[in-house]
Structure 1
C-alpha cells in the first residue's frame, strides 16, 4: 500500500485542473490523369478480381482480475461502467467502488489502482432514507430529491468546495439511477459518525443524507487517491 500512497499528490496538487489536450487533423486528396489511346484498338484488359475484404477483428480488451476483497462480479460491472462512460471520465487509472451489499460496519468503500491492483478500503456511511430503521444495512436506493437516500450507479468525481461539512467534493451522476446527485448535493465529505470508533460503540456507522460520508481521518486519503475526473461506482446487487 505504501507504493500506492507514495504516488499520491498533495491536496494542493489534486485541486489543480488538468490541461486540455488539443488534436489536429490531416486531409489528403488524390489526382486523376488522362491517358491518350492509339488509333488501333487495344486488346481488352482483363479486369482483376478484387482481393477479399478482410473482416475487421475487434481489439481484445485485457482482462483485469478483481482485486482481493472486492466481489469479482461487482468489479466487472464497475469496469463495464468505466468503459460505458469513458468519454466523460478523463482519469481512468484509479476508481472507487462502494459495495452496499455489505453492512456499514465493514470496509466497503474501495479505492483501486487499476495499474497494479493495489486497493485501499475504508468505512463509508449510507443515507437515512436508505435505512430508515438504522439497521446498518442499506435497504433501498433512491434518486429522488429530499429522499435522503443513497443512489446507485456511476458518478464522476467533480470539483472541491468548502461547505456544511468543511472540505467536500461534488459528484455528478452519470446514470438514470443517480442523475439527480448534483441537484441533491450528494457529495463526498467527512463525518464523525463514520469514524471507526462508532463500530466499537454501536456496531455500525451513523447515517448521512445520501452522501458518501467517510471517517474524519480518511478524507485526505480519499481525495488524494480519487482526485477530480475519476469514477465512483455504487451498487448493492449480490
Structure 2
C-alpha cells in the first residue's frame, strides 16, 4: 500500500508543479522516478499532439511496466493536481502465458496485443461491453487502433477481487478494459477530445 500511495503522491506533486525543475545543482543531479518520467513523456505527447487534443485539463496514463494486479491507469488532473488510479487489463497478445505482465506491445492487426503511444479519446458508444469510448491512435506504434477496434470498456474480468485472488486480471483483445464498476467514472473523467498515453515506464 505504501508503494501505491508513494506513486500517487509523486504523480500529484509532479502534475501540480507542472514538472518544473527545482533550483540548485543538487536537484539537477537527482534522477527522475519512473512515474515522473512517464508523466513527462505523456505531457510531451500532449504538447506534440496539441493540434488534435483540444481538451488539456485532464489526461490518462497507463503504465504497462506494472503488473495487472496493481492499479496502473492514472487519471491526472493537470490543473488541480489530483490523481485517481484504477485497474486496467492488457491484451492477451501482450501476455501469451497469462503471467500478469506485459511482455510485448504490438500495433499489428490480429495481434490481440496492447499498443503503446498517445491516443485521442473519441465519442461514446454502446456496444457488447456496454458504454464504451472509441480511441484514435496518434503515433506509429498505435495508429491501427481504430482498425483494430481498440477502445475503453468495462469487463467482468477486471476487479480488485480477481487481482487479489488470482494475482492478476483477465486479458482483453488489446482494449483498455477496466472494472465494470469504474467504467462510468472513467468515461466521464476522460471525455472526448482528451489524451490517453500508454507505455512502459
Answer yes or no: same fold by TM over 0.5.
Answer: yes
Residue 161 (structure 1) aligned with residue 115 (structure 2):
no
Equivalent pairs counted in the alignment come to: 174
2:41: which partner in 1? Answer: 77
Q: What SS is found at the alignment partner of 1:179?
A: coil
SS at 2:103 equivalent = coil
What's 2:12 paired with? Answer: none
Residue 65 of structure 1 is matched in structure 2 by 19
User: Any stretches of 5+ residues in structure 2 without a counterpart?
Assistant: 1-15, 21-32
Q: Does 1:132 align with 2:86?
A: no
- Between structures 1 and 2, the one with greater helix share: 2
1:100 equivalent to 2:54? Answer: no
Contact 2:89 2:177 in 1 (8 A): yes
Q: Give a deviation string over 1:105-161, Cα, whole Å, max 9, x none.
A: 111000000001100000000000000000000001000001000000000000111
Distance 2:85 2:120 in 1: 19
Alignment of 1:210 with 2:135, yes or no, is no
Q: Which residue of 1 aligns with 2:158?
A: 194
Do residues 87 (structure 1) and 26 (structure 2) align?
Answer: no
- In structure 2, do the counterparts of structure 1 residues 74 and 101 end up closer, same or farther at CA, with 3 Å as the change threshold? same
Say which of 165, 186, 191 aligns to 1:227. 191
Q: In structure 1, how many angstroms separate the alpha carbons of the residues matched to 2:96 and 2:169?
A: 13
SS class of match (1:82): helix
Question: Matches of 2:190 and 2:119 in 1, distance apart?
Answer: 12
- Distance in 2 between the 1:148 and 1:199 partners? 21
Is the counterpart of residue 145 in structure 1 residue 109 in structure 2?
yes
| 1:65 shift after superposition | 3.0
Q: Which has the higher strand share?
A: 2
Provide the TM-score with structure 1 as the length reference: 0.71
Q: What is the TM-score normalised by the length of structure 2?
A: 0.84
- 1:185-232 C-alpha deviation (Å, 9 max, x unpaired): 000000011111101220110000000000010001101111110000
Q: Secondary structure at the match of 1:87?
A: coil
CA distance in 2, matches of 1:200, 1:235: 24
Partners of 2:176 and 2:47 in 1: CA distance: 23
